Structure 1
Amino acid sequence: MNEYPPGSVEDRNMLAKMSKEKLLDYFFLQIRNLWRVDGLYFLGIEKKFGTEPATVIVLEVNVLEP
């Protein structure tokens, strides 16, 4: 996983000390937060430009590069 930033030593140490169950809880909390931000992003675009343009923008942004 060298292509990702390693994170701070403090953060890595904190995560290393967590039990597997707590680490999974933390991981899924962050995933839910990402979904919330994604939803708010869509709602903001939709409010300003309408549903169809918001959908087009989100689809363009979420396309994975090869």
Structure 2
Amino acid sequence: MASKQISNEDGFVSLNVRASVLQKMLNGEVLHMTDIHCTCAHSKRTLQKLLLRAVVDSSDR
């Protein structure tokens, strides 16, 4: 599957993440999608695309 570049003017995705969730992320623990909240629709779509790409890439290994 060809990888598409996700365009964003500044290259950032706006998220709200609890400190405990950030700690889990940094520790490499499994997270649930409800732990991460996007602050706008564009960020939500970008995050969804990145997560789907990660799943596809991990299943190709």
TM-score range, shorter chain: 0.3 to 0.5
Answer 1 or 2: which has greater strand percent: 2
TM-score for the superposition, normalised by structure 1: 0.38
TM-score for the superposition, normalised by structure 2: 0.41
Answer 1 or 2: which has greater helix percent: 1
